[in-house]
Amino acid sequence: MNYNAKQNRYENMKYNRCGSSGLMLPAMSLGLWHNFGDVDSYENSKEMVTTAFDLGITHFDLANNYGPPAGSAEKTFGRILKKELASYRDEMIISSKAGYEMWLGPYGNFGSRKSMMASLDQSLERTGLDYFDIFYSHRPDPDTPIEETMGALADIVKRGKALYVGISNYNAEETKEAVKVLKDLGVNPLIHQPSYSMFDRWIEDGLQDVLKDEGLGSIAYSPLAQGMLTSKYLKGIPKDSRADKENTFLEKSDITKEKLSQIQNLQDLAVSRNQSLAQMALAWVLRKDKVTSVIIGASKKEQIIENVKALENLEFSEKELEDINQILKR
């Protein structure tokens, strides 16, 4: 059965201007970091992507190494795009990145021109795209001149292989330097993708000010702190959760007694707002329009539906914000 997108898909999604650019991004974007690899169900992956699109999520965030195995998330998305969403390509923002280890040898990692260009071409082939809407340097490279990495990004735009470029995981000073190099090359960077959540607030220490001054948007990943900012772990570590699996970014040792106390107190506050903890955590990241978009991950479509409901209440009173700060200090 052919997929037909819902006619009312744009009615309830919030769209924010990305920095000083002309591009609008949905307040929530779908990330394909987990659950879209070859090891996952294609039908489930397809349902999540089409459900997101039906909810007005127009931005789909990839990277060369997403899977597992690395590269397979791009292949899965390319298959979904070709079979279900090809006629909607001009309504979508599709991004990918290069910078983390992708293939063996000295050229499959970090930010050399060789690595960036080869990775881009491979990602385009896997997705079946002619261009990405946004292409990122996934992380700074301490051993490659920033002029080389940013020069590769600038050429990617000039060659029509990406409409916009961005950076991810760069600190405030690295961001200033990267922006200057790109602007000197005649390319205005669009966006920065940092981690950001109630439990991970590093971007408040200078980076957000740089982004505002330079006219860049921002899109936050891991807004739920790998699932800790949900009710999932309040009664123990569920089987097959991220904390229960090996080789994930969340370890059982991260779920401490102190952290659980914070989560329970945040949960109580969320209930008083008529939200789930996850919904409140997403709304908090988007508060006061300091972040353009937040990347949500999912393992089933129902999670996407529930997360998008966070947009129904993005306002926080000053007391609620202070209560959250006090909880996080305990």
pLDDT digits (tens, 9 = 90+) for 137-189: 999 999 999 999 999 999 999 999 999 999 999 999 999 999 999 999 999 99
Q: Do the domain assignments include residue 268?
A: no
Q: Do the domain assignments include residue 269?
A: no
Q: Do the domain assignments include residue 189?
A: yes
Q: Do the domain assignments include residue 305?
A: yes
Residues 6+ apart with CB under 8 A from 311: 12, 13, 14, 27, 28, 283
Instruction: Count CA atoms within 13 Å of residue 79 on its CB side.
Output: 15
Total number of domains constituting the chain = 1
Q: Do the domain assignments include residue 183?
A: yes
Let me know the angle formed at the C-alpha of 137 by 284 and 15, rounded to the nearest 5 degrees: 40
Measured between alpha carbons, how far is 44 from 299 in angstroms, rounded to an integer?
Answer: 8
Q: Do the domain assignments include residue 28?
A: yes
Residue 247 pLDDT: 52
Q: Do the domain assignments include residue 330?
A: no
Strand 24-26 versus strand 15-17 pairing type: antiparallel
CATH value at residue 88: 3.20.20.100
List 164's β-bridge partners, or say none: 134
Give this prediction's pTM.
0.94
Whether pLDDT at 203 is above 50: yes
Full domain range(s) for residue 119: 15-231+288-313
Q: Please state which of the ranges 34-48, 158-172, 236-250, 259-273 shows the lowest mean pLDDT.
A: 236-250
Measured between alpha carbons, how far is 46 from 29 in angstroms, rounded to an integer?
Answer: 16
Q: Do the domain assignments include residue 245?
A: no
Q: Give all strands (DSSP E) within 169-317, no chain letters.
A: 191-193, 217-220, 293-296
Whether pLDDT at 243 is above 50: no
